[in-house]
Amino acid sequence: MFRFSDVLTLTLVRATIRMSTPILLAALGVIVTELAAITNVGIEGIMLVSAFMAVAASYWSGSWIVGILAAVAAGVLIAALMALIHLRFKANVLVAGIAVNMFSLAFTRFLLVNWFGVAGSFYSPRISPIPRINLSILAAHPVLDTLFNNYNLMDYLGIVLVFVFHFLIYKTVWGLRLRFTGVHPLAVETAGVNVTVKKLQALLISGVLGGLAGAHLSLGYTTQFIENMTNGRGFIGVAAMYFGGISPITTWLASLFFGFTEGVGARLQNLGFPSQFMLMLPYVATVVAITFSMIRQQRRETDKQPF
């Protein structure tokens, strides 16, 4: 028998938050680029390579910190590759993103075989995961314990970053110029600010955030690397960014919503519902993300001359 109470439990709250973290980190990254008129679907590839590098570095060094640093470095490098394709060689940004994604998928598969001699996935007890945080005062109380304990560092970091980016985007000089870069690059340029530099900054920052998201997938959420383990979460991040109106706090809510759907989906699957629903989600998100990005691009065009 199907009962709602089997699905809507306290642990679902946990699942929602945990599953939303990689989406949120990716979404924050693409908010920054989107504000600079770059729809960064390449975030998917950034996350995948970062997830791989996180596992590899953690495995060899035995330190999750080194793992995260490696993931961030990898993320920034892939973002720099995108910048090269898009900013230097002027390729369309969606095309650049898709190219980066295809490259990342093949590249990680190749490294998996070449470095670890396995195909499909890599797991080892030597991989050091990102620690979880447990507060003993909460542990005593079962409800509070399920709700608030046992998250890993990244889950907290994600939430902190929501507010950090809100501040950066809406309160600082940097943020103001970033927001103008997307909607009126010529005004930015004539104000003496280099638009290409702004766009490069935005891409590199999305590399950092994508790196964190990747590290969370392979060292936090699980402790292994699986081929294509991002499985559309980057795209879902892009969709969350649009649903959240390209603004950190509302995007956080959108990420929670996607995390929630994933959580419910997983549960329904356990209860015998067809797994295709879950598997469909990333594709739906992709379609949504790209549709929104096209609509926005058109609007940008028409926005140019309001008078």
Partner 1 sequence: MEPIVKMTGIVKQFPNVLALKGVDFSVEKGEVHSLVGENGAGKSTLMNILYGVLQPDLGEIYVRGQKQVIHSVRDAMHLGIGMVHQEFMLAPSMTVVENIILGFEPNRRSVVDYDAAAEKIRALSEEYGLAIRPESRIIDNSVGEAQRVEIIKALYRGAEVLILDEPTAVLTPQETEDLFKVIRSLKEHGKTVIFISHKLQEVLAISDRITVMRDGRVQGTLLASEATKEKIATLMVGREVFLNIKAPEGKRGGVVLDVQGVSARGRRRLSDLKNVSFQVHAGEILGIAGVDGNGQSELVEVLTGLRRVDQGDIFVSGTKITNLPPGEIRERGVSHIPEDRNRSGLCAELTVAENLVATKLKRPPLSKNGVIRGQAVRELASRLVEEYDIRPGDYRIPTRNLSGGNRQKVVVAREVSEDAQLLIAAHPTRGVDIGSIEFIRSILIAQREEGKAILLVSADLEEVLSLSDRIAVMYEGRIVGILPASEANEQVLGLMMAGGEYAKAQGEEEKVVEA
Which of these ranges, 90-98, 167-175, 236-244, 256-264, lies near partner 1 under the rule CB under 8 A? Answer: 167-175
DSSP letters along 204-256, please?
Answer: HHHHHHHHHHHHIIIIII-SSEETTTTTTHHHHHHHHHHHTTT-HHHHHHHHH
Interface with partner 1, residue 102, by CB under 8 A: no
- Could you tell me the smallest distance in angstroms from the CB atom of residue 241 to partner 1? 17
Question: Which one of 21-29, 126-134, 183-191, 229-237 is the stretch in contact with partner 1 (CB under 8 A)?
Answer: 183-191
* Residue 174 three-state SS: helix
The CA distance from 37 to 142, in Å, is 47
Out of 5, 114, 136, 190, the only residue in the binding site for partner 1 (CB under 8 A) is 190
- 1 is a contact residue toward partner 1 (CB under 8 A): no
- Of the candidate spans 2-10, 118-126, 174-182, 270-278, the one that interacts with partner 1 by CB under 8 A turns out to be 174-182
Q: Does 177 bind partner 1 (CB under 8 A)?
A: yes
- For the bound state, the minimum distance from the C-beta of residue 174 to partner 1, rounded and expressed in Å, comes to 7
| Count of positions on this chain that bind partner 1 (CB under 8 A) | 22
Q: Is 186 in the site for partner 1 (CB under 8 A)?
A: yes
Note the Cα 72 to chain centre separation in Å.
Answer: 12
Regarding 174 and contact with partner 1 (CB under 8 A), the answer is yes
Q: At what angle do helices 10-35 and 153-171 cross, to 10 degrees?
A: 40
Q: Which helix (H) or strand (E) holds 274?
A: none
Under the binding rule (CB under 8 A), the answer on residue 176 touching partner 1 is: yes
Of 246-285, binders to partner 1 (CB under 8 A) are none
Q: Does 298 bind partner 1 (CB under 8 A)?
A: no
Q: How many CA atoms lie within 13 A of 203 on its CB side?
A: 27
Instruction: Report if residue 32 touches partner 1, rule: CB under 8 A.
Output: no
Q: Are strands 121-122 and 225-226 parallel, antiparallel or unpaired?
A: antiparallel
Contacts of 142 (CB under 8 A, 6+ apart): none
Strand partners, 121: 226
What contacts 164, CB < 8 A, 6 or more positions away? Answer: none
The answer to whether 306 contacts partner 1 (rule: CB under 8 A) is yes
Collapsed DSSP state (helix, strand, coil) of residue 224: coil
Establish if 192 lies at the interface with partner 1 (CB under 8 A). yes
Contacts to partner 1 by CB under 8 A:
171-174, 176-177, 179-180, 183-184, 186-193, 303, 305-307
